[in-house]
């Protein structure tokens, strides 16, 4: 048994897969699975399944099992975060100027304020049935805030009993790592050992494109959030939960974040 690894770009980020096994082949299969999900779930390609779904806002639309699962996950994230992690912020992201992928360079600063304001609760604008779903007319779904942790959890299960998936900083570690102590992961300036746990980071220090313009929309205002935090990293039971808790804490600000994370997470890093 040896530690095998594979790095590749996908989901708008750099991805890293690790596997303790005799055969590294599952890594390539896993990378291909992630690329396939990227093509299906990106909002930057007009013919992706997500873009097609958004283009039919107001009507019931057939969705694949993967998109249906992620839309249900979006509703769960909204509930767990008390409404702060909100996948129905696409119109606000576009109004703020986040109109193209960062791989094409920084987006031109813009803030079309006539489109901005408090965003209705997600469960008022998104309905999900078996094999079909509907988003309210005038709104759209962006899965950038929840998809990577959710995918990391599932990919680690697919790779094998002792694997780690890092999708742009959202991580799930499955098993005990190479030496049985847990998977060593950099976290808040130290190394922690993960065993069947997830970690994620949320913050406004990247994906910025102008004064106070970044990709984390506060649904209470419909604008890029303004908090006293720039970055939050958390440990949780899964990558999906870590991503939700990190984003929630970031949007809450330091005071409420300390209390919220103390209730839900075994460890966290707040900056500054």
Partner 1 sequence: MPAWLLKLAAVLVTGLAAAGSAGYVSRHVKSDTAPLHPPVAAPATTVSGAGGGHLNLKPSVQSSSDQQPITFTSVS
Contacts to partner 1 by CB under 8 A: 3, 5, 12-13, 16, 18, 148, 164, 166-171, 181-193, 199-203, 205-207, 231, 233, 235, 258, 261-262, 266-272
Nearer to partner 1, 77 or 133 (CB): 77
In sequence order, which residues have a C-beta less than 8 Å from that of residue 18 and are 6 or more positions away?
A: 3, 4, 5, 163, 164, 165, 166, 183
- Smallest distance from partner 1 to CB 163, Å: 12
CB 137, min distance to partner 1, A: 31
Distances (CA, A) of 46 to 9, 40, 42, 43, 67: 20, 10, 9, 7, 16
Whole-angstrom CA distances from 23 to 1, 4, 28, 30, 192 are 8, 8, 11, 13, 27
CB of 138 to partner 1, least distance (A): 29
Cα gap 150→152, rounded to integer Å: 6
- Nearest to partner 1 of 74, 246 (CB atom): 246
CB closer to partner 1, 188 vs 210: 188
Q: How far is the CB of 126 from partner 1 (least distance, A)?
A: 24
Whichever of 64 and 206 has its CB closer to partner 1, that residue is: 206
């Amino acid at each position: 048994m040896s530690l095998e690894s594979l790095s590749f770009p996908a989901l708008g980020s750099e991805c890293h897969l690790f596997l303790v096994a005799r055969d590294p082949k599952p890594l390539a299969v896993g990378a291909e699975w992630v690329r396939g999900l990227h093509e299906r779930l990106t909002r930057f390609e007009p013919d992706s399944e997500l873009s097609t779904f958004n283009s039919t806002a107001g009507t019931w639309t057939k969705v694949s099992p993967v998109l249906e699962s992620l839309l249900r996950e979006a509703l769960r994230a909204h509930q767990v975060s008390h409404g702060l992690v909100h996948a129905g912020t696409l119109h606000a992201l576009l109004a703020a100027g986040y109109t193209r992928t960062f791989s094409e360079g920084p987006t031109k600063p813009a803030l079309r304020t006539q489109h901005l304001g408090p965003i209705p609760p997600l469960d008022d604008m998104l309905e999900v049935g078996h094999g079909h779903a509907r988003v309210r007319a005038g709104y759209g779904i962006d899965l950038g805030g929840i998809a990577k942790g959710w995918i990391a959890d599932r990919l680690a299960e697919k790779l094998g009993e002792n694997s780690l998936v890092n999708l742009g900083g959202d991580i799930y570690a499955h098993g005990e790592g190479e030496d049985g102590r847990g998977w060593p992961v950099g976290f808040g300036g130290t190394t922690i050992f993960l065993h069947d746990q997830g970690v994620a980071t949320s913050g406004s220090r990247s994906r910025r494109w102008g004064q106070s313009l970044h990709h984390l929309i506060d649904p209470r205002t419909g604008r890029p959030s303004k908090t006293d935090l720039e970055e939050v990293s958390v440990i949780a039971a899964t990558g999906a939960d870590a991503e939700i808790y990190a984003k929630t804490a970031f949007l809450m600000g330091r005071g409420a974040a300390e209390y919220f994370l103390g209730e839900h997470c075994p460890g966290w890093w707040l900056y500054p």
